[in-house]
């Protein structure tokens, strides 16, 4: 502690340089935390899913529909307790700049199957009663400044035209991974208006025993193997994971960019530290003459690097944690549950430590090894 004033005085020598160096470190760690959280959020989304829910999609691809008529046959299969269905809608509101997910669902069975979507009982009743009603996530309500009972008109992007819904419910998810800025409306209204003869995007089956999942999935797919629309059935987790695999290369890209940024900042910081040490060669000579040992000078330079990286780490990592939490960031609904994890903070801390070692080591060794007489030439 007795050397701290000396360290702080040295850091204050070029305030702008010290500020810029610490800011570089903060920015690098902020970016690292942000990019890594994108990756971990995608991974967490892929792992989300009940073991008791199976998802049935068209075997050709998720963009191809399934007949609504399959519902009854699915319900009749052994081990299947309940059946629900949903369809991606793809609407936009206002100028369309703020993306949000929109689904048409079978209301009663869907809400029964997803207790994670918490809705007050009277709002649930209103949603079940009114064909043109919709429920929205709390965040979406806040973003657009909507209110309960308001009519909102959404422009369909896949299914064209203006679609007006009355907001009858505001849900709050029980799990951060569940998106809380969706608009969910009724599939019967969707089906009626489109007059496409009853099609759905995918089915969700609730099964009695998770151990039977593989057997039931095979049973479903065998049932419709020779139909006009063959099915592909899997667990909800596998379904979500298939979405995550679409992000696969993005994750790699995020990690690569994150590491490249950290490495670039490492060079900047190391350069700043070396410049700072080089400028003080004469002072190192004075300190050695006074009796500061090589080891002590090494420690002082490392301490300077440590203070810079510590400030950068606190600002960068702490800033990322607080910012995303305070703004409830979700990447326009693509990254629900976006939150800088403890593991990311710990990893960021390790990177900061490595940054300190890598940037401080060379100037610290140089200061420690500098022969006094050679250093004195800078004084004389």
Partner 1 sequence: MALVQIRDVYKSFHRDTQRIDVFTGLSLDIAEGSFTALMGPSGSGKSTLLNLIAGLDRPTSGTIEVAGSQVQSMTAGQLAAWRARHIGFVFQQLNLLPVLTAYQNVELPLLLTRLAKSQREERVRVALGVVGLDDRIHHYPRQLSGGQEQRVAIARAIVADPTLILLDEPTGQLDAKSSQEVLALLRRLNGEFGKTIVIVTHDAHAAEQAKTVLHLEKGVLIERAAVGA
> What is the nearest approach in angstroms of partner 1 to the Cβ of residue 276?
11
d(CA 360, CA 84): 60
- CB nearer partner 1, residue 141 or residue 364: 364
First-residue to last-residue Cα distance in the chain: 32
CB of 22 to partner 1, least distance (A): 17
CB of 371 to partner 1, least distance (A): 8
Least separation, in Å, of the C-beta of 18 and partner 1? Answer: 12
What is d(CA 361, CA 341) in angstroms, rounded to the nearest whole number? 30
Task: Write down the least CB distance from residue 362 to partner 1, Å.
Answer: 20
CB of 277 to partner 1, least distance (A): 14
Residue number with CB closer to partner 1 (282 or 318): 282
Tokens linked to 267: 């060079």
- Please name every residue paired with 186 in a beta bridge, in sequence order, or none if there are none: 105
Burial of 195 (C-beta count, 10 Å sphere; 0-12/13-18/19+): exposed
Complex with partner 1: residue 86 or 370, whichever CB lies closer: 370
CB of 285 to partner 1, least distance (A): 9
- At closest approach, how far in Å is the CB of 359 from partner 1? 20
- Distance of alpha carbon 335 from alpha carbon 73, whole angstroms: 35
Q: Which is nearer to partner 1, 209 or 289 (CB)?
A: 289
Nearer to partner 1, 16 or 295 (CB): 295
Measured in degrees and rounded to the nearest 5, phi and psi for residue 379 equal: -85, -40
State which residue, 291 or 342, has the beta carbon closest to partner 1.
291
Residues binding partner 1 (CB under 8 A): 2-3, 5-6, 9-10, 12-13, 282-283, 286-296, 372-373, 376, 379-380
Please state, in angstroms and as integers, the Cα–Cα distance from residue 230 to each residue in 78, 159, 187, 191, 319, following that order. Answer: 19, 24, 22, 21, 50
| Token duo for residue 105 | 């669902």
Is the sign of the CA dihedral 49, 51, 52, 56 positive or negative? positive
Helix (H) or strand (E) holding 46: helix 15-47
Q: CA 257, 263, 269 angle in degrees (round to 5)?
A: 135
Cβ-based neighbour number of residue 161 at 10 Å: 10
If one counts every other C-beta atom within 10 angstroms of the C-beta of residue 149, the result is 10
Contact 346, 256 (CB under 8 A): no
| Residue 212 or 283 with smaller CB distance to partner 1 | 283
* Rounded Cα gap, residues 278 and 175, in angstroms: 54
Which CB sits closer to partner 1, 6 or 323? 6
């Amino acid at each position: 502690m007795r050397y701290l004033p000396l360290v702080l005085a040295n850091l204050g020598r070029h305030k702008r340089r010290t500020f810029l160096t610490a800011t570089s470190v903060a920015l690098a760690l902020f970016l690292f935390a942000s990019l890594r959280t994108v990756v971990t959020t995608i991974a967490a989304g892929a792992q989300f899913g009940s073991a008791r829910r199976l998802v049935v999609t068209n075997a050709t691809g998720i963009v191809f529909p399934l007949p609504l008529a399959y519902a009854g046959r699915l319900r009749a299969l052994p081990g299947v307790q309940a059946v629900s269905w949903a369809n991606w809608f793809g609407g936009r509101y206002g100028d369309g700049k703020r993306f949000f997910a929109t689904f048409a669902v079978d209301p009663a069975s869907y809400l029964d199957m997803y207790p994670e979507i918490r809705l007050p009982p009277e709002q649930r009743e209103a949603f079940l009663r009114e064909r043109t009603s919709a429920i929205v996530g709390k965040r979406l309500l806040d973003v657009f400044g909507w209110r309960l009972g308001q009519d909102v008109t959404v422009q369909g992007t896949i299914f064209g035209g203006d679609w007006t819904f009355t907001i009858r419910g505001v849900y709050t998810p029980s799990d951060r991974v569940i998106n809380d800025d969706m608009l969910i409306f009724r599939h019967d209204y969707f089906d009626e208006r489109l007059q496409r003869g009853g099609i759905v995007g995918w089915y969700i089956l609730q099964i009695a025993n998770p151990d039977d999942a593989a057997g039931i999935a095979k049973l479903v797919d065998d049932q419709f193997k020779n139909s006009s629309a063959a099915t592909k059935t899997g667990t909800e987790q596998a379904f979500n994971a298939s979405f995550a695999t679409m992000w696969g290369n993005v994750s790699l890209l995020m990690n690569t960019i994150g590491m490249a940024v950290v490495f670039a900042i490492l060079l900047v910081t190391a350069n700043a530290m070396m410049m700072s040490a080089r400028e003080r060669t004469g002072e190192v000579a004075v300190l050695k003459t006074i009796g500061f040992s090589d080891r002590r000078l090494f420690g002082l330079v490392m301490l300077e690097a440590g203070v810079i990286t510590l400030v950068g780490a606190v600002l960068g990592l702490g800033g990322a944690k607080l910012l995303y939490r305070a703004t409830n960031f979700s990447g326009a609904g693509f990254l629900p549950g976006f939150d800088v994890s403890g593991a990311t903070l710990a990893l960021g801390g390790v990177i900061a430590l490595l940054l300190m070692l890598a940037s401080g080591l060379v100037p610290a060794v140089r200061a420690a090894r500098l022969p006094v007489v050679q250093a004195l030439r800078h004084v004389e």
